[in-house]
Amino acid sequence: MDILTLLGIAVALALDTVAVALAAGINLPSVTFRHTFRLSWHFGLFQAMMPVIGWTGGLTVRPIIEQYDHWAAFVLLLLVGGNMIREAGAPRDDAALRIDPSRGMTLVMLSVATSIDALAVGLSFAVLNIPIALPALVIGIVSATGTAAGLYVGKRVAAAAQIGRYADIIGGCVLICIGIKILAAHGAIPLP
């Protein structure tokens, strides 16, 4: 996998964490180093570990679907990307972020919720026989960095909730385009 594709996947996956961080930055009375560290560390860790879990699970099904692996990867990316786009139009419950999102079960639940998409991407990597170590590291670092930036930008941008919606749409479109690129690379569809 080339580095641009990997960065595109990492950025697309990180957009969920950035959107949550933006909303948290708006709702927290002040953004401290502790808030930034806890959110960035957990979001980055979960974003790095979920593809590994998906990849490990995908190794068990790879022999079964090897001849259709590119279609499986495309469908997974299409579903994840489509879900991100669909959720961008759904009403958001910002009341959950009024409490400190960098503590306790709220932090764990947000970490899991923002990294579920990475699980499906890890499964796609397994069926395409792509090693997982470098992608997991890049995805985790990009997510942690994006989370830190999102917290501070959210503190300074009053309309961050709308930005979060656009970020989800862009991230979903990027994942769908990567799925189409996978199909084209395997000769399943012709691209101009």
Report the pLDDT value the prediction gives residue 169, as an integer from 0 to 100. Answer: 76
d(CA 12, CA 84): 10
Q: Is residue 137 part of a domain?
A: yes
Q: Is residue 85 part of a domain?
A: yes
Which residues 6+ apart lie within 8 Å of 97 measured at CB? 20, 23, 24, 27
**Torsion sign (Cα): 80, 86, 88, 93:** negative
d(CA 12, CA 109): 20
Report the pLDDT value the prediction gives residue 65, as an integer from 0 to 100. Answer: 67
Helices assigned H by DSSP within the chain: 3-27, 33-65, 69-89, 104-127, 133-156, 160-185
Q: Is residue 160 part of a domain?
A: yes
In the predicted model, what is the mean pLDDT of residues 116-142? 91
In the predicted model, what is the mean pLDDT of residues 149-170? 70
Given a cut of 50, whether residue 120 has pLDDT beyond it is yes
The residue segments making up the domain with residue 24 are 3-185
Question: Helix, strand, or coil here: 190?
Answer: coil
Report the pLDDT value the prediction gives residue 162, as an integer from 0 to 100. Answer: 58
Instruction: Please give the tally of structural domains in the chain.
Output: 1
Given a cut of 80, whether residue 114 has pLDDT beyond it is yes
Given a cut of 50, whether residue 97 has pLDDT beyond it is no
Report the pLDDT value the prediction gives residue 100, as an integer from 0 to 100. Answer: 75
Given a cut of 80, whether residue 39 has pLDDT beyond it is yes
Residue 158 pLDDT level (bands cut at 50, 70, 90): very low
Q: Is residue 158 part of a domain?
A: yes
Given a cut of 60, whether residue 93 has pLDDT beyond it is no
Q: Is residue 192 part of a domain?
A: no
Q: Is residue 191 part of a domain?
A: no
23 CB neighbour count, 10 Å cutoff: 23
Is pLDDT larger for residue 186 or for residue 97? 186
How high does pLDDT run on average in the chain? 81
Give the phi and the psi of residue 103 in degrees, each rounded to 5.
-135, 150
d(CA 192, CA 186): 15
Is pLDDT larger for residue 182 or for residue 114? 114
In the predicted model, what is the mean pLDDT of residues 21-38? 84
Burial of 34 (0-12, 13-18, 19+ CB in 10 A): exposed
